[in-house]
Amino acid sequence: MATNYSNYVGGEWVAAESGDTFDTHDPAHPDQVVGTYPKSSAADTDAAVAAAVDASEEWGDTPGPERGRVLSRASALLAERKDDITELLVREEGKTRAEAGGEVQRAIDIFDYYGATARDLGGTVKSASAPNTTLRTKNEPLGVAGLITPWNYPIAIPAWKIAPALAAGNAAVIKPATLAPGCVHEIATALEEAGLPDGVLNVVTGPGSEVGDRLASHPAVDAVSFTGSTTVGSAVYDAATEDGKRVQLEMGGKNPTVVSDSADVAEAADIVSAGAFGVTGQACTACSRAIVYEDVYDEFVDAVAARAEAIDPDEGLADSDMGPHVSMDELESTLEYVEVGQEEGATLETGGDALDRKGYFLQPAVFSDVESDYRIAQEEIFGPVLSVISVSDYEEALDVANDVDYGLSASIVTEDHSEANRFVDDIDAGVVKINEKTTGVELHVPFGGMKASSSETYREQGEAGLDFYTISKTVYDNY
């Protein structure tokens, strides 16, 4: 049964000014409507920003420990509703139940983490050069944060933007992706029940061309945090920086895993397949390229193709191996890249076919004989498609790994400790892993990319996640 949702503005659940709505659909059962949401406009966005402005000063003056208690209570409420939120996430976005449950738990943990961290916000004390002087810093909120989030992690990414923004004392307006906005409403509900004052968090659903554009350019918004495609992120950056807003962008990836000749090939195939095919390949950190030393190349191709063939895609609530693409557009985009790879001369070892059933299902694809300049090795493919590239040694592997516009996540599978540490130093990526898949990050350490994967301004998550939402004053007190 479909659920009717509203915008959350100034502590009230309200319809769009126009009364227009849009529906979300279950990607495993496209004929089933999951939710009906307000199709908001720039005017609705203006109302939300005005509510945030009105609430920002009082919330910013609220002591950090009190702000933290609200976030901690929200974490507990989300935990009580974990099963229901998990099912909603599966039905709107398509993840498997296990993947969705892990993501909901991540959101719970993020609110718990920032609830505790809010108690320690303040500044630092330094020794002054002059006598009878205290030298210290004081961190203050920016004011109003505009948050624009994607559909592929519909609760974790909103959580890691909302929680530090509120912990630091800002009010916020969030525009969730139209394909899967339901989990953001669950966050808002939990925060409302946890005692968040009216207007501190506002939720507005609708098209990016209306809500997102207005949020990025609104003169009363002090900072904009965006996660999504590089194309859209670049437009958000231009709109937001025109009047000097602080901007944080996390965008696409073309993430490599290097497989050394010292690696255990079976283990390497497990690591790469988990990174490439987990969450249906719909992750900015997904492994898209396996760069494999020629001595183990053929063995690795056989092993990773076998793992792809063993995956049985099905609806997420059936506890399947892999869920569907989120939409027909996303499925068609992946299928187009499968065609492109074959036209370029790569060998399709397995998969790449849409399944003959309802839903946006694809058998994961593995390409061999891929050259580094092929489009399938250069362009982001938001689906379960892996390109396997042969290299002769470490130097060639590094050249290939860095020979893309992106620099988000990268890993190496090796038993050579020196090689692993060289890779950490040499790779152009914001997240570097040794003997691990490219996906999956800890919440208490910085996250972000390089090159076209990021604005390279501020990192998200951990203590670094608070830096974006605060500004520092330096205080000289001559007593």
Question: In angstroms, what CA-CA distances link 52 with 9, 139, 195, 346?
Answer: 8, 20, 16, 52
Q: Which amino acid is at 207?
A: P
Tokens encoding 469: 């939402």
The b-or-e profile of 258-295 (16+ CB within 10 A means b, else e) is bbbbebebeebbbbbbbbbbbbbbbbbbbbbbbbbbee
| Angle in degrees, CA 118, 432, 309, rounded to 5 | 115
Packing angle of the helix pair 156-167, 182-193 (nearest 10 deg): 30
Let me know if 250 is a catalytic residue. Answer: yes
> Which residue is it, tokens 């990268």?
410
User: CB-based contacts of 277: which residues, under 8 Å, 6+ apart?
Assistant: 307, 308, 311, 322, 364, 384, 386
Q: Annotated catalytic residue: which of 93, 192, 250, 330?
A: 250
Residue 88's alpha-carbon distances to 3, 95, 107, 180, in angstroms, are 10, 10, 14, 9
Mind telling me the catalytic residues? 250
